[in-house]
Amino acid sequence: MGNLFTHPTHTKPGEITDVDRAVLSLKAQRRKLEDQSKLIEKRIEHNVSVARELITLNKKDRALLALKKKKLNEHQLQTIQTWLLNVEDMLSNMELTKQQQRIFSALKDGNAALKAAQAEWSVDDVEQLMDETAEAKEYQDKVADVLSGQLSDLDAEAAAVELAALEDSILGTAEERAAAEAAELPEVPTHEVEEPLPAAPTATHAVEAGAAAAREEEAEGERRLEAPLAAA
């Protein structure tokens, strides 16, 4: 059916527009058509029930009349269903139009914000900013080159003196460091250290030694006696 409102007018937030009124009217009409559709469906069911009952009573003429009413109700229901489809189609198009209006308004506001932002920065301003940035970088590079260059002998000597002063302030003077290192060494003994002597043999050790010697002599005597026998 196409869009009904192709040229939306600017409205204030919360203001009821002609589109809103048309949507409300169509929704009200849709509810009425739905109510009529339900009513006609009940009439159709009633006419069928009446026709069945009249047939059981052998009243065919009146049963035929009830069925004709049913047919008429069916045509009415079909017409109402067509109207409902048209209303739904109209509501869908109007909702789409409202969505298009919101999108158009958002695009318009965004375009205005973009133009306002662009107005704050001209092309000349951007070029000047880029030039200033390049100059600042060039100056920084020069400073870095100066600092990273070779120092003179006088500067190197001054740096060494400053390093020594820092070491003295943090670690103490050379004499203080030597005294601290000497204090950490173990003390040197001033007299001769006597080595411990081996322990003197006790009575138990002597007895064990004599017993071992006696066993050795006994074993030697047995070997002497067995030697001639083995030779025979």
Domains and CATH numbers, the chain: 18-120 (1.10.287.1060), 126-184 (no CATH)
pLDDT of res. 111: 86
pLDDT of res. 1: 45
Length reported for the chain: 232
pLDDT tens readout for residues 37-51? 999 999 999 999 999
pLDDT of res. 196: 57
pLDDT of res. 82: 94
pLDDT of res. 87: 92
Regions of the chain with pLDDT less than 50: 1-8
DSSP the chain: ---S-SSPPP--TTPPPHHHHHHHHHHHHHHHHHHHHHHHHHHHHHHHHHHHHHHHTT-HHHHHHHHHHHHHHHHHHHHHHHHHHHHHHHHHHHHHHHHHHHHHHHHHHHHHHHHHHHHHS-HHHHHHHHHHHHHHHHHHHHHHHHHHSPPPHHHHHHHHHHHHHHHHHHH--HHHHHHHHHHHSPPPPSSPPPPPPPPPP-HHHHHHHHHHHHHHHHHHHHHHHHHHHHH-
Q: Is the pTM of this model over 0.85?
A: no
